[in-house]
Amino acid sequence: MQTLSAVDKIKTIENGSILTPLGFQTGAVAAGIRYTKLDLGVIFSEKPASSAAVYTTNLFQAAPIKVTKESISVEGGKLQAVVVNSGCANACTGKQGYEDAINMRNLTAKKYGLKETQVAVASTGVIGECLPMDKVEAGIEALSLGNSKNDAENFQTAILTTDLVMKSSCYSAEIDGKTVYMGGTSKGSGMIHPNMATMLAFLTTDANISSENLSLALKQITDKTFNQITVDGDTSTNDMVLVMANGMAENNPLSSEHPDWEIFVELLRVSCESLAKQIAKDGEGATKLVEVEVKGAVNDSEARWVAKQIIGSSLVKTAVYGADANWGRIIGAIGQSKAALDPENVDVAIGPIKMLEKSEPLKFSEEEALAYLKQDFIQIFVDLHYGEGYGKAWGCDLSYDYVKINASYRS
């Protein structure tokens, strides 16, 4: 009898959400930060949840990130709520911004009878503007929790900025004979570039795992997922991926020694990859999702780096937008990566169409390439023939609309 791999043990939950795992509720309101749109939301766990987060590498880290780091650093990394606003990033706002983020945390804690450090804070929107705290305070007071599909969608909507669509994921796996669920949602459309970008992602799970082990898994997975997407080469001040695990599935505590550890890590990976790809697909002005797969690098890290270099190339992105099978731009991006390789032994294919083999150009049908590049999902394959390293990256094409959107972002 063939043994199933970890990836084969993960099930997709159709119509699932961040509220599918046991013990989570959400709420969202239109507080007036973004005119009449939903712009303030909360995720609440019935029980204190082991929590872990990763943050932007931008040196200008927004006040909410500082406050969330403080919350996770105490109470053994246990959180029960995260409050999120859109429309204002509360970044580069000095002492006032920090005080406002603390106030958001404290108001939410008071609302739900929690310790202040059991609340995380996240913000997204325009940089350099202070939060309208009178509206934030009234919005938090007006929040009402629920566990319906509508409640999940309202929260997913409240965290969006220039995004065109909501992003969500939900998967399950059997651990210790218990069904463990993991749901997620994210936002992100522009300022998307490794390592992370103007993106927020929140994942909930009813798995039983310590904050320390959850952090170990998250850091391992982030490099393969969220850090492998790029839209425009800019990294934001507010990026955050936050996972909450409340243990209500009642499996035995997970650690690297647990026999089902790899299943949990795979559950986290597919959840993060799904959200990352949805962000890339919804890039500002994007018309196509692009996936780059690199194999044959000296190691996985260099393979991922080459893939990011290709998908981050403006010339590659514009060629994809124009349905131009200009594989020379792909080669140019590979060469800029400074990865270990033999320039005389590289293969390149766009979709099923091989264009370069052992660095020798191949004849191909321009009509077939044009038809393929007009699709809304494009794959680029590269083989460096230099080692066993493998990696992927995701991004989108670069269109005229990207310039239009960002030329008038504040208006």
Catalytic residues: 198
C-alpha dihedral (187, 133, 242, 197), degrees to nearest 10: 50
Dmax (CA) for the chain in angstroms is 68
Q: How far is CA 276 from the centre of its chain?
A: 4
